[in-house]
Amino acid sequence: LAAREDLTPSVLATWARDSEEDVRIFAAGHAQTPVEALRALIQDPSARVRDTAAKNARMPTDIVRSLATSESGGMREALAQNPAISSVSLLLANDQDERVRQALARNTAAGPDALLLLAHDGSSNVRATAAHNPSMPSEALGRLVQDANRDVRSAVAWNPKTPVEIL
């Protein structure tokens, strides 16, 4: 179902109001779900539905900004996986919750400035995750290849975008 591109926005809007959680989760994650439905889904009683909606690239910018400062670390972690979060990626890169920063470090859409911040993160787990991100700027990879942590250095070596000359 998820691969079906022929689902109409009206069908998805109807599914967003379905009594079954799995149906609402599907609607929350679909690329064609109308913005109005996403606004409702982000307030769903189910955390699974809300988290899926937070990852949807069509989520309106005003909601994305609001979610970036949510008290829920889980919500911020889900948001960090959204492919359209450039407006809040620097905020999430400075999040106090390591899980949020690590989720952002996996996101290829995080943006170079956020990835550069994550390359200097105090957590070696975050640095290793960021080092593996193919969107990591090469100048940061050059620094990370010399990191004291072997997992970080290994992630740089496994990054397909790492220039051979810095290995």
**What is the 3 state secondary structure string of 11-56?**
HHHHHHCCCCHHHHHHHHHCCCCCHHHHHHHCCCCCHHHHHHHHCC
- The pLDDT score that the predictor gives to residue 2 is 54
Q: Which amino acid is at 1?
A: L
Distance between alpha carbon 91 and the CA centroid of its chain, in Å? 13
- The pLDDT score that the predictor gives to residue 6 is 80
- The pLDDT score that the predictor gives to residue 62 is 95
Cα–Cα distance, 126 to 7 (Å, whole number):
38
- Mean pLDDT per 10-residue interval, the chain, length 167 residues: 76 97 96 97 98 97 96 97 94 98 98 97 98 96 97 98 93
Cα dist. 67→2, 4, 10, 102 in Å? 25, 28, 26, 17
- The pLDDT score that the predictor gives to residue 121 is 98
Please, are residues 54 and 78 in contact by the beta-carbon 8 Å criterion?
Answer: yes
**Which residues, at least 6 apart from 133, have a Cβ–Cβ distance to it below 8 Å?**
105, 106, 107, 108, 110, 115, 159
**Which residues, at least 6 apart from 17, have a Cβ–Cβ distance to it below 8 Å?**
24, 37, 40
The rounded radius of gyration (Å) of the Cα atoms in the chain is 18
Cα–Cα distance, 44 to 28 (Å, whole number):
10
Angle between helices 124-132 and 112-119 (to 10 degrees): 140
- The pLDDT score that the predictor gives to residue 1 is 53
- The pLDDT score that the predictor gives to residue 5 is 73
